[in-house]
A and B are shown apart, each in its own frame.
Chain A
Amino acid sequence: MNTIIAIIPALPFISFLILVLFGGKLSRRASGWIGAGSVGIAALLTIITGISLLNSVTGEKYYTIILWKWIHAANLNAEIAFRLDSLSLIFCFVITFVGFLIHIYSIGFMEKDEGFTRFFAYMNLFVCSMLILVLADNILLMYLGWEGVGLCSYLLIGFWYKEPENGTAARKAFIITRIGDTAMIIGIFILFVSFGTFNIQDIMQLAQAKWAVGSSIAVITAALLLGGALGKSAQLPLQTWLPDAMAGPSPVSALIHAATMVTAGVYLIARTNVLFSLAPAVQTVIAIIGALTLLIAGFSALAQHDLKRILAYSTISQIGYMFLALGVGAYSAAIFHFMIHAFFKALLFLAAGVIILVLNEEHDIFKMGGLRKKMPAVFWTFLIGSASLSALPLVTAGFYSKDAILWFSYSSINGSIILWMAGVMGAFLTALYSFRMIFITFFGKTNTEPSFKAGILMTAPLLILAVLSLFGGFVELPASLGSVHLFSGLVNQVLPGVVIKNIENMEWLFQLISGVIALSGIYLAYRFYYRKPAYMETFKNSRLNHFFEKGFEFDKVYDTVFVKPVVWLAETDKKDFFDQLNISIAKLALLGNRVMSLTENGKLRWYLLSFAIGIALILTLMMTQ
């Protein structure tokens, strides 16, 4: 069983190699099915391993395997070693299963695209890197996966490279996440220097033993690792790349920017939770960042008119919820929300992809409308996804996961009423913008006609994900509703349980409040966007709306503060000393050429003269030797 966990990331990698080396000679069907099949088999293996882990007789809680030694220099040792415990099992399951569905969808979606094989090669490389990230036993290998997903994100965002703005968006994503990665690698350096090992479990134990709670080195390291997580997960202040990353194809947005890569930050913090519990200040910062991000992103989503950008801001907002949960110590709630979010967000992105494809690349929701009757399957699955996103009470999985976070944001020892209020406000906004999406896109007059009907390859994944969005939440029911703790039981094998304040269990009250908030959000969306009263038009043209639409003008701030000075510096430095040195070498060569060409003037007598001079010189030299 231990070796199987090594095969899980290897399969997509082998598929990547096959597609890269032989992709030109394979037919489209073959490369599509190789790409999707490898992830599918990986999903199967994950399920098998998971079942085996859950039912293990000997009570072992994890599987490890050391493949080979990677770096072996003095006392710097790193191996390629994988470890599957319950946390990585959940992540693996989501990555491979949702990834498999997305790959199937892509076979239909990218059917007419000329970069078909390239797409699947990149996607497989991505799945492999993400699996390495979550399965890694030492932190350096995790960083390898981290960088790998960053690379694949760049490649896939800029997939349609012939449009320059896609390349710009890809570069923006890469550079901003790079800032986070730099912080993270410095954190890794500090960890290595302090403990001499890269193995995550060893680091956790040693940190627990050696570092005091609240000591400055713990705070610094935790803050640096947090920086890395912020970059990858698009939280404040590094969130500006995710809306622009929607330039990539919809399956890419679904896989990378909804379900997996952006949750790498969540995984990192969960994995290294010991460090964060040793630095309570940083944990509080995580919670605050999560709360702020979810509010800002929620407001911004309200003003977008590009369908995928709404979903992008929604993703930022939902990951803000996960960070909020991590910040108050509710690790299992965060992971639970991660899983459910992966289901419905992937569903939403895939459905959005179908809509955009069928409407001939129309992204603006105000140019859509009335698709309810025209595309029923897409409508119902989209509705289920949005309902889950808005945490519609009791029926959707999103309700259970988001509700757990809201409850713990108040009741945890590190939680407070302010955090809870931020979360509730965010839930209201979520319901508002997601049903805004539904009403504007699917109801009303049809502005753009669908040009064809989506095939089974694209519709089947939507249906499966819709089912999961509805019923996936039943593995974790709160105490007031039946108290099923399958999920948290699994997660708490690895992660610490949440510590609750000493208060009465008022969870049912909080559930009631959040249910009411969600329903009122839906109702207001109905009033504003279905009935469309006049004041909506004035609001749409207002400055506040514009401010929201630009994502609170973060891009402009970064541009003025960072980008413009650097560009100015580069421009003025064009003629500095070293450049002059290089130019003068070139000028010297040109001068030499001009001088030499004087001797090439085509005059016969010059040449004769040079003959005669040459002979004279040679003979004189010979005679006087």
Chain B
Amino acid sequence: MLTVPVETQILFAGILFFIGLVGLLVRRNLVFMLMSIEIMFNSAGLVFIIAARHWDQPDGQVMFIFILAVTAVEVAIGLALILQVYHHFKTLDVDAINKLKDDNS
């Protein structure tokens, strides 16, 4: 139903991905970073659907379903980890979690 050329569609997914990437790099709050990761996941799935349509096979959509499952798990675990971080460090600033840094000692 759409007569947009494939390149444009993929570029659109790419824009979405890069928005997510910028958000990931810019934000300091862990929850926001997780949200940006969600956006990136979404864009990846979008590319799969585009490909499914392009090659006219259902395999892309199957892949998207799996991506969905993985995203669900990842969000669950990620939020649980954020809970732990918050209780331990009392803040959600990602820069505060630098215990692994090289102290040059």
Contacts and interface: CB of A to CB of B under 8 A. Distances in A.
* A/B: CB atoms within 8 Å of each other: yes
Interface of A: 593-594, 597, 600-605, 608-609, 612
A330 B18 CA distance: 107
Contacts of B100: 602
Given A612-B21, A612-B25, A604 B97 contact: yes
A601 B102 contact: yes
Interface residues of B, number: 13
Interface in B49-69: none
B8 interface: no
Nearest to A598: B102
Given A612-B21, A612-B25, A605 B104 contact: no
Interface string B69-105: 0000000000000000000000000110111111010
Contacts of A602: 97-102
A8 to B, nearest CB: 66
A600 B95 contact: no
B25 A594 contact: no
Nearest to A615: B21
B95 A605 contact: yes
B98 A608 contact: no
10 nearest A-B pairs in the assembled complex, by CB-CB distance: A602-B101, A602-B98, A600-B102, A597-B102, A602-B100, A601-B101, A604-B94, A597-B104, A603-B95, A603-B98
Interface of B: 21, 24-25, 28, 94-95, 97-102, 104
- Residue in A601, A604, A612 with the greatest tally of chain B CB atoms within 10 Å: A604
Contacts of B102: 597, 600-602
B94 A601 contact: no
16 contacts: A593-B104, A594-B104, A597-B102, A600-B102, A601-B98, A602-B101, A603-B98, A603-B101, A604-B94, A604-B95, A604-B97, A605-B28, A608-B24, A608-B25, A609-B25, A612-B25
Given A602-B98, A609-B25, 9 more contacts: A594-B104, A600-B101, A602-B99, A604-B94, A604-B95, A605-B25, A605-B94, A612-B21, A612-B25
A244 B94 CA distance: 72
A34 to B, nearest CB: 57
Nearest to A609: B25
A601 to B, nearest CB: 5
Contacts of B95: 603-605
B38 to A, nearest CB: 16
A293 to B, nearest CB: 63
Contacts of A612: 21, 25
Contacts of B99: 602
A604 B24 CA distance: 11
Interface hub of B28, B98, B100, B102 (most chain A Cβ within 10 A): B102
Nearest to B28: A605
Nearest to A593: B104
Nearest to A590: B104
Contacts of A600: 101-102
Contacts of B97: 602, 604
A581 B102 CA distance: 29
A601 B95 CA distance: 10
A593 B105 CA distance: 11
A604 B99 CA distance: 11
A527 B21 CA distance: 109
A605 B94 CA distance: 8
B74 to A, nearest CB: 16
A597 B98 CA distance: 13
A594 B104 CA distance: 7
